Amino acid sequence: MADIRVENLYFRYPNRFRHPGEVALDGFSATFLDHKFNVIIGGSGAGKTTLLRILLGLEDDYEGGVAFGKTNADELPAKQREIGYVSQDIALYPQYTLFQNIAFPLQGAHAPADEIRERVSAVAELLKIRELLSRKPRELSVGQNQRAAIARALIRNPRYCFFDEPFSNVDQENANQIRSELKPLLTSRGITVLFVTHQIPEALQLADRLFVMEHGKLLQAGDPQTVVNSVNPAVHDYFAELK
């Protein structure tokens, strides 16, 4: 698999959502580049999380095309998409230690115990939480728990990694520290990243390629400097309002 391509995506919220019938994606098309930090920025209701859910294989009632490299998403069940996922909610199991939380995907895949110990230790070392593996989430800071959530997303060596506002609940100092470590860590492992945010400084710190969304549409995509200095009135106004 290589680039992720979406073409003319259209998605309307079904009845189980808070706003049934509302259009979340309205003709959205984009190419997310392989081995790059693809950052999607937009305000609340832009359709960012819905886009990730479709790419994750959690929503299938959409119109348009989705492809991972040359493979149509319809041919790829969610478990075969090789995606690690980190949300803003962190979502660690409170009754488990960090070791158990990080190891959970490998245990579900019935990996040997020795391999699990080795891989958990290695990824915890990368995220600087190795000495915390015996502790439970309630004993640790939000920043340390988010490091564990990232470690869990990486434990199966995913081809892609998706982040949905991962530092919204982390204090600024810890968020800045984790961000500074995150990009070199993921790029060194050859992982293609889709990172969702509404914060301009965060987007500019991480993006190799920046995508601006509004009301389910792509306003502009390109290298960050070009996008920020766009002559497109909607894009120019968007950045002016958030600065």
Report the pLDDT value the prediction gives residue 60, as an integer from 0 to 100. 86
Instruction: Write out pLDDT tens, residues 176-221.
Output: 999 999 999 999 999 999 999 999 999 999 999 999 999 999 999 9
> 1-82+163-168+192-243 maps to which CATH number?
3.40.50.300
Report the pLDDT value the prediction gives residue 53, as an integer from 0 to 100. 95
| Domain parsing of the chain, residue ranges | 1-82+163-168+192-243
Instruction: Write out pLDDT tens, residues 37-76.
Output: 999 999 888 999 999 999 999 998 899 999 998 899 988 8
Question: What distance in Å separates the CA atoms of residue 154 and residue 83, rounded to the nearest whole number?
Answer: 9
Prediction pTM value: 0.92
**65 C-beta neighbours (distance < 10 Å), count:** 14
pLDDT at 21 over 80: no
Residue 17's pLDDT band, with cuts at 50, 70 and 90, is low
Report the pLDDT value the prediction gives residue 20, as an integer from 0 to 100. 65
Report the pLDDT value the prediction gives residue 94, as an integer from 0 to 100. 94
Residues with Cβ < 8 Å from 235, sequence gap 6 or more?
A: 212, 219, 220, 227
Report the pLDDT value the prediction gives residue 74, as an integer from 0 to 100. 86
Higher pLDDT, 49 or 237: 49
Query: Which residue, 119, 116, 99, is CA-closest to 107?
Result: 116
Instruction: Write out pLDDT tens, residues 131-181.
Output: 999 999 999 999 999 999 999 999 999 999 999 999 998 999 999 999 999
pLDDT at 18 over 80: no
Instruction: Write out pLDDT tens, residues 101-126.
Output: 999 999 988 999 999 999 999 999 99
Report the pLDDT value the prediction gives residue 229, as an integer from 0 to 100. 86
pLDDT at 78 over 60: yes
**88 C-beta neighbours (distance < 10 Å), count:** 17
Report the pLDDT value the prediction gives residue 179, as an integer from 0 to 100. 93
Question: What distance in Å separates the CA atoms of residue 42 and residue 77, rounded to the nearest whole number?
Answer: 28
Question: What distance in Å separates the CA atoms of residue 63 and residue 9, rounded to the nearest whole number?
Answer: 6
Query: Which residue, 79, 47, 68, 30, is CA-closest to 192?
Result: 68
pLDDT at 236 over 70: yes
Report the pLDDT value the prediction gives residue 79, as an integer from 0 to 100. 87
Contact (CB, 8 A) for 46 and 52: no
